[in-house]
Amino acid sequence: MPRAVFLDRDGVLIEDVDLLVREHQIQLLPGVPAALQQLKAAGFRLVVVSNQTVVARGLATELDVRRLQAAVAQAIVARGGPDLDGFYFCPHHPNATLPAYRIDCPCRKPRPGLLRQAALDGQLELSASFMVGDRLTDVAAGKRAGCRTIWLRTGQHLAPLIQTAEPLEPNLVPNFTCDTLAAAARWIHEAP
Ligand SMILES: [Mg+2]
Ligand SMILES: [Zn+2]
**What's the half-sphere exposure (Cβ side, CA atoms, 13 Å) at 57?**
9
Alpha carbons 95 and 163: distance in angstroms, whole number? 10
pLDDT at 159: 81
pLDDT at 87: 98
pLDDT at 171: 84
Which structural domain, as residue segments, surrounds residue 51? 4-190
Ligand nearest to the CA of 18: 1
pLDDT at 18: 85
pLDDT at 113: 98
pTM of the full structure: 0.96
Alpha carbons 73 and 77: distance in angstroms, whole number? 6
pLDDT at 11: 96
Q: How many structural domains are present in the chain?
A: 1
pLDDT at 70: 98
pLDDT at 3: 98
Q: What residues have CB less than 8 Å from 21, skipping those under 6 apart?
A: 54, 59, 60, 64, 68
Residues of the chain with pLDDT under 50: none
Protein residues placing their CB within 5 Å of the ion ligand 2: 90, 92, 105, 107-108
Q: What is the CATH number of the domain that holds 165?
A: 3.40.50.1000
Q: Cα of 136 to ligand 1 centre, how many Å?
A: 9
